[in-house]
Amino acid sequence: MNQQIAVATEKKNNNGALLLGTGLVVASMILVPALAVRMGLGASLTGALRIALMKASSRAVSSSCSTDSSEAA
């Protein structure tokens, strides 16, 4: 019973991390370039912002995956 509750809690945490990661990817691919054009930012600054958001997305998703694999072992 306790294992089932723990698995359900892990899945909820994993879904939250995936949702956060997906939101950051959407922001980096769509919102950042659109706002950069509107504000008149240069291409290098826009690229740097996109890279930062993609790295944050990767960290959010990989941290949730690493906790799942360490607990499963």
d(CA 25, CA 51): 10
Question: What confidence score (pLDDT) does residue 2 get?
Answer: 59
pTM: 0.63
pLDDT digits (tens, 9 = 90+) for 51-73: 998 898 888 888 766 655 555 44
Summarised one tens digit per residue, pLDDT across range 18-56 is 888 888 888 888 888 899 999 998 999 999 999 998 898
| pLDDT of 25 | 85
Instruction: Let me know the angle formed at the C-alpha of 61 by 73 and 8, rounded to the nearest 5 degrees.
Output: 55
Identify the CA nearest to 33 among candidates 25, 55, 21.
25
pLDDT in the model for residue 73 = 43
What is residue 11's predicted lDDT score, i.e. its pLDDT? 59
With a CB cutoff of 8 Å and minimum separation 6, the contacts of 27 are 53
